[in-house]
Amino acid sequence: MPSEPRMVVVAQFAGTHGVRGEFKLRSYTEEPEDVFEYGELTAPGGQSLRPSFVRALKPSMFLCRAEGFSSPEALLDAFKGALLSVPRDVLPPTEDDDDFYIEDLVGLEARTPDGVSLGKVRTVQNYGAGDVMEIKGAGGLVLLPFTKEAVPGVHIEEGFLTVVPEED
């Protein structure tokens, strides 16, 4: 049975605009307008839309339209506040070995420099002060800042990353 494709959040539905079914879209891509190149955007509930550009509102906020939605109520019912994703394989490849998508870290084994496994990366979040990795293992949940000091080696092809946990 084929596995579900890994989905990567690239945008957020940021509200409706006017009465004709236009909506605001907040892009999370490095180049904000690239969000229109990835095709359909999918909400957590499985609803999808294909945004078409109307105009830029701010550097990473756009006014959009989508086929099949002609009223603000229909859009709000399906997408209010939703994080919108695309399959990982539609994103462009990274340029070199030191380049990767944060999503590529999820599922990697976290090992100390001497090879002891702390578990697997569950998620990487940013709460405003930088990226934080959540590692889930037999010893419970470990939170580490995603910095060069705490994570000196990322080996995506080999399936692990090297971590230096903080001393308690």
Confidence band (pLDDT; 50, 70, 90) for 4? confident
Point out the least confidently predicted range of 4-8, 47-51, 158-162.
Answer: 4-8
Which is it for strands 48-49 and 22-27: parallel, antiparallel or unpaired? unpaired
Contact (Cβ atoms closer than 8 angstroms) between residue 150 and residue 163 = yes
pLDDT (tens digit per residue) in 94-103: 877 678 888 8
Instruction: Work out the percent of the chain whose per-residue pLDDT is above 70.
Output: 97
Q: Residue 127 has what pLDDT?
A: 81
Domains (ranges, CATH) in the chain?
A: 7-90 (2.40.30.60), 102-162 (2.30.30.240)
Residue 3 predicted with pLDDT over 70? no
> How high is the mean pLDDT of the chain?
90
- DSSP 3-state percent helix, strand, coil across the chain (nearest 5): 10, 45, 45
- Token output for 74: 């229909």
Instruction: Work out the percent of the chain whose per-residue pLDDT is above 90.
Output: 67
Residue 93 predicted with pLDDT over 90? no
